[in-house]
Amino acid sequence: MCLIAVAYRVHPDYPLVVAANRDEFYTRPTAPAAFWDDEPSILAGRDLECMGTWLGVTRGGRFAAVTNFRDPSDQRASAESRGTLVSRFLAGKGAAGEFMDEVEARADAYRGFNLIAYDSDGLYYYSNRGAEPISLAPGIYGLSNHLLDTPWPKVTRLRDRLSAALEPAPSVEPLLAMMADTTMAPDGELPHTGVGPERERMLSAARIVSASYGTRCSTVVMQSRQGAIRFAERTYGPEGAELDSATYEFQRAA
């Protein structure tokens, strides 16, 4: 997952609204979002190479997502898969804050990451390239491949668009539409993360389009105060070809 916007306790009827894009090489084997056979309470896509996920929710309302922290100098083949952080939290029973403390204790086992986890305990954020885990206050947050709310153009633009999309109430199609934006940032506003100007330009769009690497899916997660959970996914192929869309709706389990 490479771009996430989260509205936490901002809308009176929706304590959690998430819109996200997962960017990856098209050759990496991936399963679309579904309830997992081996963990029936988890609804998520799946990385079939390491069997983790980038974003998911459970029938009980637990939510988590991870993004990579862009650092071309760290190419450790021995590092553990960052996607297992999400699947471990979703499959677990412990509070989100406690889970983040456990992750911090083993932070060096992974290449750079940003992790968001949500449950009845609250919304938490931790990066092994930042400080200690934090409990987030109500607000709108943006995250890409640097630290939380780093003002990259696509992050600030997405936060503003999510704020507007909450009025009068969020809905799936407008949220998916904002994640489909392929506008690239002007060269003078590009970050400098060590991948070169041409790639920085390509990666600056909310939805990345190319022949070999790009946005594989856009996902919306909405949880209402009454316990209704809506999960929508739209998948894409090389050169941005739209492949499929799926929506799941269910009531949060006790």
Cβ-contact 24, 30 below 8 angstroms: yes
* Structure tokens belonging to residue 149: 């709310």
Percent of the chain scored above 70 by pLDDT?
Answer: 100
Q: Is the dihedral of CA 152, 30, 83, 55 positive or negative?
A: positive
Condensed to tens digits (0 to 9), the pLDDT of residues 13-58 reads 999 999 999 999 999 999 999 999 999 999 999 999 999 999 999 9
Find where tokens 């650092």 sit. 71
- Model pLDDT for residues 139-193, shown as the tens digit of each residue: 999 999 999 999 999 999 999 999 999 999 999 999 999 999 999 999 999 999 9
Residue 136 CA neighbour count, 13 Å, CB half: 26
Of the options 3.30.70.100, 3.30.1380.10, 3.40.50.150, 3.60.60.10, the CATH number for the domain spanning 3-251: 3.60.60.10
Query: Percent of the chain having pLDDT more than 90?
Result: 97
pTM (global) more than 0.95: yes
Distance CA 248, CA 232 (A): 6
CA 78 to chain CA centroid, Å, is 24
